[in-house]
């Protein structure tokens, strides 16, 4: 052992630790991106008046009828801050089913002559009319709740072919990935003997993504496929394969060996018994 040997080992360990930390960091990034698409808190300040100029506005003194188009995303937690600018009472209300009357479950404020606020979750996607319930059919506007993509891609199938391969041979990792909008990235994290890598998968036919490459070190390998959509929703699914040195594919010689030993032992025992009886 030369004096450099311990240093070499230390550097090797440092590289392993660095790789592990990098993998953890990338994994952390992928995981931490998932909740960022969750509902946002949205505050909308709306000014209203019945006396000229009649209508609604997001800035004081510039009301119009119809008022401004208001747009939020489904799942948003919406706070409406409402101010009456003409000293007359108003009630803000979104007519989800367009029947002209306030129904249970439709967002509505208390009656206000000064200022008020109320909150609701924009769970119903679509285009609606918002009103002042008191001054309808004036004091109206268009409300849009966008059907935002909050669901991650679906990884329907995962495969490693062949599941057992000789060192240096190709293993094709594949996954069927779909999304309600579009799958934008599919990567795979492969961990095996002396290997810990994040690799980009290529798009094959239609919804099929794959990574075909070789592995040198014999042993067990596990992999996790990560799929993301345009909104940053992420889904993962895992699998495994192995790299071995036997040519017999996945055949298990264990049970055959046990049976063989049993048969040989029994035969030997019988032979000994027979030979003793003859004496
Ligand atoms: Cu009003």
Distance 101 CA to ligand 1 centre (A): 15
The mean pLDDT of 2-6, rounded to a whole number, is 40
| pLDDT at position 1 over 50 | no
Q: Is the preceding omega at residue 137 within 30 degrees of 0, hence cis?
A: yes
The residues with which 96 forms a beta bridge, in sequence order, are: none
Distance 80 CA to ligand 1 centre (A): 15
Distance 74 CA to ligand 1 centre (A): 27
Grade residue 54 by pLDDT with cuts at 50, 70 and 90: very high
Q: Which one of 6-20, 64-78, 141-155, 248-262 scores highest in mean pLDDT? A: 64-78
Distance 212 CA to ligand 1 centre (A): 66
Grade residue 279 by pLDDT with cuts at 50, 70 and 90: low
Question: What superfamily would CATH give domain 41-146?
Answer: Cupredoxins -  blue copper proteins (2.60.40.420)
**Strand ranges, E, within the chain:** 41-49, 55-57, 70-73, 77-84, 92-95, 115-121, 126-132, 140-146, 154-161, 164-165, 170-178, 183-192, 195-200, 202-203, 208-214, 219-229, 234-243
Ligand 1 ion: residues within 5 Å (CB): 50, 90, 132, 134-135, 139
Greater pLDDT, 9 or 68: 68
Phi-psi region at 134: left, alpha or beta (left = phi > 0; alpha = psi -120 to 50): alpha
Distance 99 CA to ligand 1 centre (A): 18
Distance 132 CA to ligand 1 centre (A): 5
Q: What is the pTM of this model?
A: 0.48
- Architecture of the domain defined by 149-251: Sandwich (2.60)
The mean pLDDT of 210-235, rounded to a whole number, is 93
Same fold, 41-146 and 149-251: yes
Is the Cα dihedral 33, 39, 45, 49 positive or negative? positive
The neighbour count for residue 120, using CB atoms within 10 Å, is: 16
Q: What is the pLDDT of residues 237-270, one digit of tens each?
A: 999 999 997 544 445 556 667 777 777 788 887 7
Domain segments of the chain as ranges: 41-146, 149-251
Give residue 196's Cα distance to chain centre.
Answer: 22
Weakest mean pLDDT among 111-120, 121-130, 225-234: 225-234
């Amino acid at each position: 052992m030369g004096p450099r040997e311990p240093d070499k080992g230390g550097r090797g360990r440092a590289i392993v630790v660095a790789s592990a930390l990098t993998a953890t960091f990338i994994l952390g990034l992928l995981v931490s991106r998932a909740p960022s698409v969750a509902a946002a808190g949205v505050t909308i300040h709306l000014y209203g008046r019945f006396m000229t100029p009649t209508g609604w506005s997001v800035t004081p003194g510039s009301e119009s009828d119809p008022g401004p188009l208001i747009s939020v995303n489904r799942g948003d937690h919406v706070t409406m801050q409402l101010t009456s600018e003409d000293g007359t009472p108003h009630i803000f209300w979104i007519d989800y089913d367009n029947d002209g009357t306030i129904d249970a479950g439709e967002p509505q404020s208390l009656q206000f002559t000064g200022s008020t606020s109320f909150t609701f979750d924009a769970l119903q996607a679509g285009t609606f009319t918002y009103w002042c319930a008191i001054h309808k059919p004036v004091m109206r506007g268009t409300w849009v709740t966008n059907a935002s993509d909050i669901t991650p891609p679906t990884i329907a199938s995962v495969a490693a072919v062949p599941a057992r391969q000789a060192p240096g041979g190709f293993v094709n990792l594949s996954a069927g990935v779909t999304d309600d909008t579009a799958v934008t990235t599919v990567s795979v994290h492969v961990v095996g003997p002396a290997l810990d890598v994040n690799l980009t998968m290529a798009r094959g036919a239609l919804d099929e993504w794959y990574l075909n490459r070789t592995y040198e070190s014999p042993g067990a390998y596990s992999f996790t496929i990560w799929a993301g959509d345009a909104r940053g929703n992420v889904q993962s699914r895992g699998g495994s394969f192995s790299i071995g040195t036997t040519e017999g594919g996945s055949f298990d010689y264990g049970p055959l060996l046990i049976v063989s030993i049993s048969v040989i032992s029994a035969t030997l025992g019988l032979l000994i018994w027979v030979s003793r009886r003859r004496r």
